[in-house]
């Protein structure tokens, strides 16, 4: 099934892409067969096969949709349960210094969906599990690593040594390849973090091809079609909730029901971003007074560009923010083409300078109603971390990533990871 089982090392977006192609391919074969049967190309010894008559087209359509949606959900729950039990996951040995090695182990533990379970961390000086191997040569240390692989059944090693000289790395990789079936190298390509990366063999020279999907006009059209179609269908479904929320806002604090704020859109063009009002009227003036009088609040606002215990937020507003329901009116911005369902967060014009050198790259695409900041720690992340997440999204974008983030947003709404 296109490498889906056990699926180690696959991101959720890549796993979804492979699953979709598998289902579409299978149903394409079935559809092709139903064409050949009436033409008489496929028969049995009992006569023509009436497959189309026996299987209603509606049932085939429901089966197609069911196979698209249900297996990823069931597989995700199964992987999570098996991971918790310590059954699913490929044990790996990580080699790296105190900084890169520890960071890699932490990343693998947080991103458990990749299926890599760190079994040991060895520093670049070849320190094994905190036990110093002082006085031992690299040869002796690698022998210890190989023994670990044999005893523990580990067949994967990750070299988290992005800045080591190739002349020093090559012998270690060559030695590791004798005991480890899978050898992963973390590159020193800096901020290039793109899942659309393909290794190319240029006459014996390793080259890395990086594809930026957002430069593909067909990909941009597909994103717009997804935005418009999902918004029309979703908007019709949530319309009753919009009316109820509007009544709650009005009942608590009167008019206006909606709050319009200018945000930076595609190419830095400002647009009016619509939300349900969650603060008391005149909130901006209240904020300026609060920041002028309280140094602690001022420091918090500079770091996060928001306040955790903001006294300006109403009771209804606090609920709307915790569930992100205050952002539902932004579906209108999506229909107008000012926003996308998924994208970077909509930045305030005054935050333009704080974005830094990544400003032009992030503003190449419309901001999103949801995005990586909504499902990766959400409002606990600092402003700098949110910018880094947006950069990664723009560079890594695909339709599959958008679908994964939309599904993850729904999950985050029910989990309530602390939006404020």
Task: Point out which residues pair with 118 in neighbouring strands.
Answer: 92
Kindly report, residue by residue over 216-262, the tens digit of the pLDDT: 888 889 999 999 999 999 889 989 999 999 999 999 888 889 989 89
Kindly report, residue by residue over 101-147, the tens digit of the pLDDT: 888 888 888 888 888 888 877 775 554 444 433 444 456 656 767 77
Q: What is the mean pLDDT of the chain?
A: 79
Phi and psi (nearest 5°) for 199? Answer: -80, 135
Distance, CA of 73 to CA of 87 (rounded, Å): 19
**Cβ atoms of residues 116 and 89 within 8 Å:** yes
The pLDDT > 90 percentage for the chain reads 17
Kindly report, residue by residue over 23-54, the tens digit of the pLDDT: 888 878 777 666 555 544 455 555 555 555 55
**pLDDT band per the 50, 70, 90 thresholds, residue 5:** low
Is residue 362 within a helix (H) or strand (E), and if so which, with residue range?
helix 359-362
Token code pair at residue 4: 């889906």
Task: Point out which residues pair with 368 in neighbouring strands.
Answer: 340
Cα–Cα distance list, 25 to 3, 64, 209, 326, 349 (Å): 15, 11, 27, 40, 46
Task: Point out which residues pair with 313 in neighbouring strands.
Answer: 279
Kindly report, residue by residue over 286-343, the tens digit of the pLDDT: 676 777 777 777 777 777 666 676 777 888 988 888 888 899 999 999 999 999 999 9
How confident is the model over 362-387, as a mean pLDDT? 81
pLDDT for residue 244: 94
Distance, CA of 115 to CA of 142 (rounded, Å): 25
Kindly report, residue by residue over 275-301, the tens digit of the pLDDT: 999 887 766 766 767 777 777 777 777
First to last CA, the chain: 42
Upper half-sphere CA count for residue 73 (Cβ side, 13 Å): 9
What CATH fold (topology level) applies to the domain 90-188?
Answer: Rossmann fold (3.40.50)
Domain ranges of the chain: 12-84, 90-188, 217-278+313-415
Residues 6 or more apart whose CB falls under 8 angstroms from that of 125 comprise 97, 133
Kindly report, residue by residue over 93-106, the tens digit of the pLDDT: 888 777 788 888 88
CA 25 to chain centre: 25
pTM to 2 decimal places: 0.76
Distance, CA of 323 to CA of 414 (rounded, Å): 8
Token code pair at residue 15: 């796993």
Token code pair at residue 96: 């790296």
Upper half-sphere CA count for residue 226 (Cβ side, 13 Å): 18
Which residue is it, tokens 């995700």?
Answer: 76
DSSP code of 329?
T
């Amino acid at each position: 099934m296109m490498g889906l089982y056990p699926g180690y090392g696959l991101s959720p977006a890549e796993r979804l892409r492979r699953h979709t192609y598998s289902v579409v391919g299978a149903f394409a074969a079935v559809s092709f067969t139903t064409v050949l049967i009436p033409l008489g190309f496929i028969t049995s010894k009992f006569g023509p096969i009436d497959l189309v008559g026996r299987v209603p087209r509606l049932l085939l359509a429901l089966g197609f949709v069911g196979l698209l949606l249900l297996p990823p959900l069931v597989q995700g729950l199964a992987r999570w349960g098996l991971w918790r039990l310590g059954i699913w996951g490929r044990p790996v040995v990580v080699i790296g210094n105190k900084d890169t090695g520890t960071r890699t182990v932490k990343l693998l533990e947080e991103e458990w969906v990749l299926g890599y379970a760190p079994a040991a961390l060895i520093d670049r000086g070849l320190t094994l599990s905190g036990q110093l191997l002082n006085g031992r040569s690299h040869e002796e240390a690698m022998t210890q690593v190989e023994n670990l692989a044999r005893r523990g059944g580990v067949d994967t090693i990750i070299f988290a040594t992005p800045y080591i000289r190739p002349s020093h790395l090559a012998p270690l990789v060559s030695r590791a390849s004798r005991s480890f079936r899978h050898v992963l190298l973390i590159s020193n390509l800096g901020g290039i973090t793109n899942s659309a990366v393909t290794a190319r063999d240029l006459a014996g020279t390793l080259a890395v091809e990086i594809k930026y999907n957002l430069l593909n006009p067909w990909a941009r059209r597909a994103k717009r079609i997804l935005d418009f179609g999902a918004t029309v269908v979703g908007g019709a479904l949530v319309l009753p909730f919009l009316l109820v929320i509007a009544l709650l806002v009005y009942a608590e604090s009167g008019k206006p029901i909606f709050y319009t704020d200018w945000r930076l859109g595609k190419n830095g063009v400002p647009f009016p971003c619509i939300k349900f009002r969650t603060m008391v009227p005149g909130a901006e003036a209240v904020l300026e007074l609060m920041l002028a009088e309280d140094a602690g609040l001022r420091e918090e606002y500079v770091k996060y560009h928001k306040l955790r215990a903001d006294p300006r937020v109403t009771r209804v507003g606090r609920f709307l923010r915790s569930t992100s329901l205050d952002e539902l009116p932004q579906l209108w911005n999506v229909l107008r083409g000012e926003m996308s369902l998924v994208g970077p967060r909509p930045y305030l014009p005054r935050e333009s300078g704080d974005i830094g050198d990544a400003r032009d790259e992030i503003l190449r695409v419309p901001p999103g109603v949801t995005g990586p900041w909504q499902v990766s720690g959400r409002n606990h992340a600092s402003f700098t971390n949110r910018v880094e997440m947006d950069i990664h999204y723009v560079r890594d974008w695909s339709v599959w990533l958008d679908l994964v983030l939309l599904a993850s947003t729904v999950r985050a709404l029910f989990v309530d990871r602390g939006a404020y």
